[in-house]
Structures are given as structure tokens and as C-alpha cells.
Amino acid sequence: MHRLRVCTELRRRAPQTVLRNWFSSFNSTRSAHSLPFATIEVEEISGSQPAEVHNLVQGKWTKSSNWNTLLDPLNGESFIKVSEIDETGIQPFVESLSNCPKHGLHNPFKAPERYLLYGDISTKAAHMLSLPKVSDFFTRLIQRVAPKSYQQALGEVYVTQKFLENFSGDQVRFLARSFAVPGNHLGQQSHGFRWPYGPVAIITPFNFPLEIPVLQLMGALYMGNKPVLKVDSKVCIVMEQMLRLLHGCGLPMDDVDFINSDGKTMNKLLLEAKPRMTLFTGSSRVADKLAVDLKGRIKLEDAGFDWKILGPDVHEVDYVAWVCDQDAYACSGQKCSAQSILFMHENWTKSSLVNKLNDLAARRKLEDLTIGPVLTFTTEAMLEHMNKLLQIPGSKLLFGGEALDGHSIPPVYGAIEPTAVFVPLEQMLKDVNYDLVTREIFGPFQIITEYKDNQLSLVLDALERMHAHLTAAVVSNNLLFLQARLGDKPYFQEVLGKSVNGTTYAGLRARTTGAPQNHWFGPAGDPRGAGIGTPEAIKLVWSCHREIIYDVGPLPQHWEIPPST
């Protein structure tokens, strides 16, 4: 009842008054177990006290009779019960989406006050996430379901909070900014508008259980769409709690549907509800299937075999080694932006870089989750892939390559040491090896190779043959190496001009991971590509262009009907 009263107040009263009252209640009457929005206490989730995750449809939280029991990725206990919808239970979700018109819940000519509403919601939600108690709650909850270090999980909460700050106040309505072009005669003007799709769907993965779904969900809502959200069941509890926080901040209960289901059921829902646009973040295989099933009405942020090139200028070896370690092994390598392959110029090979990478990887330990369970690959699968790579002539294990020991991670998940395998560049490029070497292993695993001055063209060929172009890094302060072709030296080629990746860092401090909220994050080279985080990303993914041409006259004096043409 307390949460119901808060929601009612948030809709009825002035925003500042509501915030003051809610935060006062938060600070003075919070029990030992709960926040105003929360239905769980993170530390109490266990096999003896499993948490429950519900569905949200047509403005109501609901439970189904089917429960999917999740295993704690650190000890194998059955610690979360997810109420999952099967194929027989999708009708309320189909009806809910079908009730949303193609012109959306709001647009520049319909209910424009909702742009202001979402500016207010963002203000309140950003303030809530800035509170240490709330930030810590979500950080620890992320750690429970997608184990990563506290700092990595906290970074996800921070980026989400800053994103919400960015779209506070008037910033939501600025997303719908239009333009006008003079017409051919008096009374004629053409106006371009950003228009919602109406009913839409969002499907997000396990590795960023707060950041990705919140940023895409809010982008969809800002532009006037009605979304159904599906988050990977392994981590859906995080977004369920965040939705409850958003409801407390004024989000109308029936603006978003939240479904827990398996992939087959979700596919059926998409085919029957026919959302006008679906955002999918996840594997390339599923992405390609959905693109066919949905007849192209989709935006994708799929997998990435992300590369980093170390240029010929060697500087700050300690710093570059640290960034490489973070890019490859933070979150146990379970980032779509993780460094999958490192192309080292021979000058770097002669440095202490590889030894420093080994030392940094050795610091990672399960106790602080700087290395942890891999949720999509088993230990056996990762080690089998490593052994296949080691059969390539000239390949060698640089470090790692062993299963973690002394843990209770269930065998359905993977647990290996941070691992690096060296593969000669010429061998990598052979047709018989290329697909194997460039297979993305969503875990603490990377390929390292070396190139010489006269081999940069081979590196660029390797990049050209890759099929997913998400993130990349060119570590060099040599501007000629980055972007110009000049003189006879073979490494003066267009590294940036001859590559594609949508989020590319260039310079000595270049990285592949750790994208903040202030720049575009997403792939390039694919018309289906989706972005996240920025106004440009939101407008690209969650709205389309509509042109309205006003032509009100007056007619020329003495106008007559002309001859037929």
C-alpha cells in the first residue's frame, strides 16, 4: 500500500513536492529490509529465501503458473524464481501492443505534454539512482545475477544515472525537434518531424542487466512508443526492480509491458503482435533469424569480434597494458565491446607489454569478482576452442588456459583463467583458420598477433573480412598512421579510413570498452545497426521521419483550370 500511495502522489502533486516527500520518507521510515520501490532485499536472496520476478501487462503486475528457477552463478543454489509466460499466455501482451496506434502514445501533434512528463520522470529517476542506498542496491543486485566486480557493476549504475540526467527537463521534447523548409509559393512550407512507431519490442541480453534495457526503454518511451520489454531471464530481476522504481517516479503503469519467457514464446509474441519496430541486442545468429521473421522491421546491436591495433609508436607501456587487460578481461570478458583480438606492431612485441599483460591478468581473482563465471560458455567449450587454436602452426599459449579451481560455480557456466593465445597473422588469414580464429568467445579469452611495417595491409584485410563491426581501438598518437597515406613508408595507410567499426577509439588512450553515456555506442556498416545513449541514437532507433507539407494558399489571382497534362 505504501508504494501505491507513492505512485498516486507522484502523478497528482508537483514534482518537487513529491520528490521531497518521497525522499523524506525514504530517509526516515525505510525499514531494515526495503527501499520505497523494492520488493526484495539483495542480501536475503538465497536457496532458502528465493526471490520472485513477475510480469507486467496492461498496467498490472501478474504471475503465471510456470516458474523458471535460476541457479546462483556462484554457488549453484536455486535462488530466483521467474514467473515465465508460455505460448498459451501471450494474448494479454498481444492485445496490449495492439491497442497502441501506429502514431504512438504521443507525437508532436498528440499529447505533447507527455514529452514533459518523461523529462520529469528522468529527473526523479536520476536523483533516485544518485542516492547511495539506491545505487548500492542495484550494484549488488547486478553482482548477484551477472557477477562482476563491484566497481564494474557500479559503473553500469552510474552510466544509467547520467543518461537519465541528460534527458531531464526539456531534453526529451528537444528529441522531437522539427525543421521547416520554404516552399515554392506563398503558403507552402515543408516540415520534417520525428515520428514514433507506436507498438515496439525490446529484447536485451544478460551482460548489462540495467544499462542496456533502461537506455533503450527510455529512448523508446521518449519518442512516444509503447514497448514490450524482454530481458534475459538470468538477470530480469534487475529490470523488474528498476521498473518499480520508475513507476514510483511517475511512469504510467500501462506505458510499458514486461514479459519473462523463453525465446520460442517471445518469437511467437512478435509474430502475433507485429510490433512496428523491434530492438534486439544479442547474438548475430538470433539477430539474423529475427530480421527474416520480422521482415526487416528491426534494429540490431549484435555481437562484435572487437579488435585493437597497437601502432608503431610505443609509449606508456604500463598504461596501455592496463587498458588492454580491462578491455579483454573486465566482467570476465562478457562485454559485446570486449577486446577479442590484439594486433601488436613488432615494436610493441619487443617491449614488456605481454609480460605486463600476464602480470595484470594474474591479479584477477574470484574473491572480488574481477574474474568470475561465464554465463554463455562452459569451461569445457572454452578450453576446447583454445586447444583447436593451438593446433594452428606457430600458435602458442601466452598465459591462462586453465580452469579456475576452488569454487562452487555450477558446471552449466564456465570458469577459466584470463587467457591469451598467440596466432601468427599469416596463419590467421588462411581460409582454413580465419573463421576459427575470429569466433567470438564471450568470456575472458583473446587472440594476440603481431604485424610488421610491411604487413599493415594484411591487418586491414583481416578487419575487412570480419562480419560484425561494433567497437575498435587504434592505439597510436601518430596521426599519419591513423589517417593519412604519405610517402613510401608502408605503414602510412588509412587505418581509420579503411575500417568500419561504429564506435572506434583512436589515440594513445584508445580502448574498446567502457563507453559512457556521452557518445554513440553501436555498430556501423549495417543498415539494421542500432545505437544507444545519445540523442542521435534515440532518434535513429526509436523514431522515423515524417514530412508534413503545409500548402494553404492563397491561389494566384485569376487562376483558371489549366489543360490536362
So which residues are the catalytic ones? 301, 336
Q: What strands lie across the sheet with 78-83, from one edge to the other?
A: 51-53, 78-83, 67-71
| Residue of 411, 416, 415 whose CA lies nearest to 399 | 416
Contact 409, 375 (CB under 8 A): no
CA-based torsion, 531, 532, 535, 539: positive or negative: positive
Cell triple for 190: 515543408
Per-residue CA distances from 265 to 68, 91, 204, 268, 491 (Å): 14, 11, 15, 5, 52
Selection from 413, 417, 414, 407 nearest residue 75 by Cα:
407
- 29 Cβ contact list (under 8 Å, min separation 6): none
The set of cell numbers assigned to 115 is 514529452
3-state secondary structure of 421: strand
Q: What is the largest CA-CA distance in the chain?
A: 94
Cis peptide before 554 (omega within 30 of 0): yes
For residues 543 and 219, give the distance between their C-alpha atoms in angstroms, rounded to a whole number.
9
Local structure of 402: helix, strand or coil: coil
Burial annotation 65-92 (CB, 10 A radius, 16+ → b, else e):
ebebebbbbbeebebbbbbbbeeebbeb
- CB 471, CB 525: distance < 8 Å: no
Report the half-sphere exposure of 258 (CA within 13 A, side-chain side). Answer: 30
Chain centre distance of CA 353? 30
| Partners of 463 in the β-ladder | none
Q: Is the dihedral of CA 478, 482, 486, 491 positive or negative?
A: positive
- What's the count of helices (H) and strands (E) in the chain, helices before strands? 20, 20
